Amino acid sequence: MRNNYISWDEYFMGIALLSAMRSKDENTQVGACIVNNENKILSLGYNGMPIGCADTQMPWKRSGAPLDTKYMYVCHAELNAILNSPAPSLQGARLYSTLFPCNECAKAIIQSGIKEIIFMSDKYSDSDSDIAAKKMFDMVGVKYRKYEPTGNEITIKL
């Protein structure tokens, strides 16, 4: 038996990273992968505009008047993965995300029944949004843990 295969965490975080590459956002690319307790992928998502809203006609700026920035419009990767799921239920699932979920995504995660979050980056850990998300996760028993990189590299030629 081969002994240098990747772990489940490497596999699913790799898929979340690959999903993030679909984002049109020049500044922030986030990907998410939801899996069940049998390690079957239930759904994928990345940060982008809602279906039917043309990426080329929507604002992608980070600053300016609220209606002229991306923040009023972009669907986060975690929410997209939840909304894209064809599974009848996400109860008990795990969510792999390249960025710790915001408070708005945390609400959707909790409501959908996801029970564990594995995240790569928590670069906004001091923000009110992250603090609120962690407070809600702790209150309802949703586990979260930082992905521990192994240093493995995967190269894919397309």
* Residues acting as catalytic residues: 78
How many other CB atoms are there within 10 angstroms of residue 144's CB atom? 19
CA 68 to chain centre: 24
For the record, the structure tokens of 24 come out as 């049109």
Largest CA distance in the chain: 58
Helices (H), the chain: 8-20, 77-84, 103-112, 128-140
Phi and psi based region of residue 44 (left: phi greater than 0; alpha: psi -120 to 50; beta: remaining): beta
Q: Sign of dihedral through CA atoms 99, 101, 105, 110?
A: positive
Query: How far apart are the C-alpha atoms of 96 and 120, rounded to whole Å?
Result: 8
